[in-house]
Structure 1
Amino acid sequence: MAVTNQVFEILRQVDEARLARQEHCKRFLKELAPILREAKKSSPERQEAPRFSSFKYLRDDEIGLSRVIADLLDPHAEHGQGTSFLEALVEVLPDPPGWLNGLRLATTDSIHVTPEHWIPDGGGRIDITVDISSATGHACLAFENKPYAHDLDRQIMSYLRYLRKQYGTRFLLIYLPPVYRWPADNSFPQAEREKWREHFRIMPYIGEDTSLEKWLATCQEVCGAEQVRSFLKDAQTFCKQQFGETPMSTNPDVLFVRDYLNSNPSQLRAALAIYDAWIPVRDTVCKRFLEHLREAINDRLRNVLTDVASDCNVWCNYGGEKQYSNGLWISRDDWAEYDDLPNSWNRRAKIGLSSRSQGPNNWIWGVNIPKPVGKMSGEERGRRDEISIALERHGLRLPKNSDWWLQYEWLTRNQSWDMIASELAEECEAGGGPITEFYVNGLLDIARCAIPAINEIETVNRADSSA
């Protein structure tokens, strides 16, 4: 009996401790909220705008970033700095080839920068080439920009062989991943790397040594125009925030809470409990917002495309941290299915919104096909090509395409749901708001062009009705 009483006493004490910790968390949040509001009144936001960046108003997908890099490298561009930025790039390159040593002597007339350098006969396109002419012949710096996308089969090998054919030994292909890594083996086999080591360099967006971040910092040092220097600083900050530091690390609220906890260590246990609760709380909010979007699109679709909306399906899936598991899709029951696919819900073409990283972040939207080109039958590849043509005919011209996406675009606004979870929760409660309108209007603009285009090619009874 005594043992039983001891067990009950221990359980009572454990329960009291648990309730005390819960009350501590509640007090911590209640205490912190008004202090945080007061701190905002004296924050440097109005005078310094530490979160402002011109890149929030620019395209920051692969094409947009390639244009920025190409423009900075171009001595004829409006930055007015001549070859200074190109020379700065050579300075940060690891072990630059000997033929680059004479670059400082080159005139601007001898340098030509080409964004999206097309290779004949379907060889693809190199994101940026810098052609340099001299008395000893032509040379080339080429850039393959990979901030987000995967490597394509034999892509790097194809570019290296093309450059060798055009420039002999006087070329260098510079690979731009988000962080230091080699291209995938299917693009640049390990067995080939030693053979091409004199003509290939890796320059990630972020890194202590050779990186775009370091190049942009060097460009600031040699830049003579304050307006351009400010843009270079924004570009460097973008690289850090997008590919290195967590975006929250520059959030004034986070910095304030960090300082508050450093000054009040007794609150660390409560802060840890709140930290541990963040992911499940975020997932609850984001799942609810995704379902809120589905309902809003489903309702609005009836007004936008009244002739086909009656059998449109709008569905969503939220998988939390699992990569590629968060998305919202629009399709029609009478579009043709693609063969040999396991999931019944993913056998047709569809308009989609999809996150491309772990968690509900880095979103794209566009027109998706459920099979990659390499696994399609000849008939399916023919349909895919016809849909691509029909999409353009109906006015859809998103900037990117891939094996899985006929057209797509990286979102440059509201891209990180981690950062806007509180706003998402508010819009769910209110039944809508500016973020809801951004997503609903964007997807319906795509649907307005894509549904008629896909109807022309994929409607199952199309052949019967025309007979």
Structure 2
Amino acid sequence: MDKSFDGAQRRELSNFVADFRHTIPRLDAMREGIELYGATRFSAFDLFAPNENTLSRVIIELFDPLGSHGQGVLFLNALLRAIGFPRLRQNDPVRVRREAMTRARRRIDMVIETPQYIIGIENKPWAVQQVNQLADYRDELKADPRGRTPILVFLSDQKERSAHGDVVRVPYYSSHGEISLRELLASVKDQIKALKPKAFVQDFIQYIDAEFGSGYVDDEAYRPYVDAVNAEFDDPSKRKAIATILLAQNSLHTRVLSDVGDYVLAQVRAKVRDDFETYSEYKLGDSVCEKYYPWGLRRTTWPANCLVALEAQADGYDHVMFGVRAPDIKRLPEKERDGASPARKKLEDMARSIPGGKKTAYWPWMQEVPEPYWGPEFAARLIIESATGEIEAHPEVQELGRQFVEMAATVDRLLSE
């Protein structure tokens, strides 16, 4: 705690914490009841971790009036309304195609044909655009022999690199008031009549929030804690104590994340070899706040730039993933080749030893953590959900330790062969 706090402030904070401690068992029981009967965090999207093709199938199924959702043109009309075009009637004929081949031998992710429009939808949640890709799609739609109005929708957070002015960009998520897939779905969620598609769309919205939005979304299961603190804050005599905790939020958040790193290191040392060291002088909580700033473990006997690591793929503790980092000199830009690892050749086929990972120029094996946003709410959840309040007692932290042990042991074995 800050040494500038006077004795009265310290006593005030101590009294507040002591009083609030008595409410924790009741709040825990309320959260467990909400989870038991509501399963507020259960989502098929989290379980299956969809890739680009899976998301395309989901989106085209929703936009297809004959889709299994049974809601007709509800979703397609929401799209048309959002981008400024008149809606369709329920009985208008609509043809939907996936992977539609163009004359340039490219494939548009989705094409929707109506009597008035021919709509092409290119879905790029993560992959980069190819040269003139959107321009080619625009030209293909404009060449429609029936003379229908062409509409090219770009489902992506990226700015279009070609076909400027002829593309309607619809990001998955936006906090700036522009059109987004998230808001499009949210605008019609209450109009969905059937329970199953309504629950599915709600899951999809939550997935978009977590994957493409600002990260953690307020969860109903944790509302009792929030409401309890808000109630305490209504008491003027306790506001200074709560504000004192807010002042310490950043340091507490960093401390929790660093405790996760300390646990992982201890597990690897205990179960693989005791000579593993951290890759840099920074703690996990200080590293994962910055984009592409890995925190990791390695043995000094390993080749340079080879480590098992955690890294955020975006600033602000977002898109956190873990894996084996050993950059491939053949795939790096020339200015980054000093960071390549001689170990890459022996680790190229890591997926044979540990299934389920992806490969990139920097990582022969990588995978997202279950909760990719590691902001303050994530740190709080680890403590709230821990059986003892200790970080190492949380199942997600224990699983991360197990995965690091597996990765470290596998890398050590492959490098020694």
TM-score normalised to the size of structure 2? 0.74
Structure 1's 315 and 423: CA in aligned 2 closer, same or farther, altered over 3 A? Answer: farther
Unmatched tracts of structure 1, length 5 or more:
1-14, 303-309, 336-346, 457-467
Unmatched tracts of structure 2, length 5 or more:
144-149
Structure 1's 437 and 118: CA in aligned 2 closer, same or farther, altered over 3 A? Answer: farther
Pairing 1:189-228 to 2, within 5 Å after superposition:
196-207=164-175, 208=177, 210-228=179-197
Q: Is 1:368–1:406's contact at 8 Å kept on the other side of the alignment?
A: yes
Deviation at 1:212, TM superposition (A): 1.9
User: Rg bigger for which structure?
Assistant: 1
- Distance in 1, Cα, partners of 2:4 & 2:413: 63
- SS of corresponding position for 1:364: strand
Q: Is 1:36–1:256's contact at 8 Å kept on the other side of the alignment?
A: no
Q: Is 1:213–1:236's contact at 8 Å kept on the other side of the alignment?
A: yes
Aligned-residue CA RMSD (Å): 4.6
**Farther-moved stretch of structure 1 (48-57 vs 267-276):** 48-57
Deviation at 1:238, TM superposition (A): 4.2
Q: Is 2:155–2:169's contact at 8 Å kept on the other side of the alignment?
A: yes
* 1:21 has 2:3 as partner: no
Q: Deviations over 1:323-364 (max 9, x none)?
A: 1446223466353xxxxxxxxxxx423332223345555420
1:143 to 109, 123, 135: 123
Q: Percent identity?
A: 14
- Distance in 1, Cα, partners of 2:12 & 2:337: 65
Q: Match for 1:105: what amino acid? A: D
Q: Match for 1:26: what amino acid? A: S
Deviation at 1:198, TM superposition (A): 1.5
- Distance in 2, Cα, partners of 1:76 & 1:454: 54
Pairing 1:272-287 to 2, within 5 Å after superposition:
272-287=243-258
- Distance in 2, Cα, partners of 1:286 & 1:54: 25
- Distance in 2, Cα, partners of 1:102 & 1:333: 68
* 1:404 has 2:392 as partner: no
- Distance in 1, Cα, partners of 2:189 & 2:247: 40
Q: Deviations over 1:72-125 (max 9, x none)?
A: 345565434455433332222x235x9x97997333xx312349x99999x9xx
2:156 to 159, 165, 176: 176
Question: What's the counterpart of residue 403 of structure 2?
Answer: 442
Pairing 1:379-390 to 2, within 5 Å after superposition:
390=349
Q: Is 1:289–1:428's contact at 8 Å kept on the other side of the alignment?
A: no
* 1:105 has 2:79 as partner: no
Structure 1's 222 and 172: CA in aligned 2 closer, same or farther, altered over 3 A? Answer: same
- Distance in 2, Cα, partners of 1:387 & 1:449: 11
Q: Deviations over 1:237-281 (max 9, x none)?
A: 444466247545753244223431343122111111111112212
- Distance in 2, Cα, partners of 1:17 & 1:378: 50
Q: Match for 2:223: what amino acid? A: P
* 1:69 has 2:59 as partner: yes
Structure 1's 271 and 448: CA in aligned 2 closer, same or farther, altered over 3 A? Answer: same
Deviation at 1:30, TM superposition (A): 1.1
- Distance in 1, Cα, partners of 2:395 & 2:5: 43
Pairing 1:326-405 to 2, within 5 Å after superposition:
327-330=295-298, 333-335=301-303, 347-358=304-315, 360=317, 362-370=319-327, 373-375=332-334, 390-394=349-353, 396-399=355-358, 401-405=359-363
Deviation at 1:205, TM superposition (A): 1.4
- Distance in 1, Cα, partners of 2:29 & 2:102: 53
Q: Deviations over 1:153-191 (max 9, x none)?
A: xx26542134246444645141333xxxx53xxx73xxx
- Distance in 1, Cα, partners of 2:102 & 2:355: 22
- Distance in 1, Cα, partners of 2:388 & 2:197: 38
Alignment coverage as a number of residue pairs:
395
Pairing 1:231-380 to 2, within 5 Å after superposition:
231-240=200-209, 243-244=213-214, 246-248=216-218, 251-302=222-273, 315=279, 317-318=282-283, 319-320=285-286, 322-324=289-291, 325=293, 327-330=295-298, 333-335=301-303, 347-358=304-315, 360=317, 362-370=319-327, 373-375=332-334
Q: Match for 2:59: what amino acid? A: I
- SS of corresponding position for 1:373: coil
Q: Is 2:173–2:181's contact at 8 Å kept on the other side of the alignment?
A: yes
Q: Is 1:141–1:174's contact at 8 Å kept on the other side of the alignment?
A: yes
2:134 to 155, 160, 163: 160
- Distance in 2, Cα, partners of 1:381 & 1:17: 48
Q: Is 2:99–2:109's contact at 8 Å kept on the other side of the alignment?
A: yes
Deviation at 1:129, TM superposition (A): 1.3
- Distance in 1, Cα, partners of 2:386 & 2:196: 38
Structure 1's 47 and 451: CA in aligned 2 closer, same or farther, altered over 3 A? Answer: closer
- SS of corresponding position for 1:291: helix
Q: Match for 1:226: what amino acid? A: L
Structure 1's 84 and 135: CA in aligned 2 closer, same or farther, altered over 3 A? Answer: closer
- SS of corresponding position for 1:105: coil
Pairing 1:451-462 to 2, within 5 Å after superposition:
none
Structure 1's 66 and 270: CA in aligned 2 closer, same or farther, altered over 3 A? Answer: farther
**Farther-moved stretch of structure 1 (360-369 vs 22-31):** 360-369
Deviation at 1:132, TM superposition (A): 3.2
Q: Is 2:268–2:276's contact at 8 Å kept on the other side of the alignment?
A: no
2:41 to 28, 43, 52: 52
Q: Match for 1:161: what amino acid? A: A
**Farther-moved stretch of structure 1 (214-223 vs 289-298):** 214-223
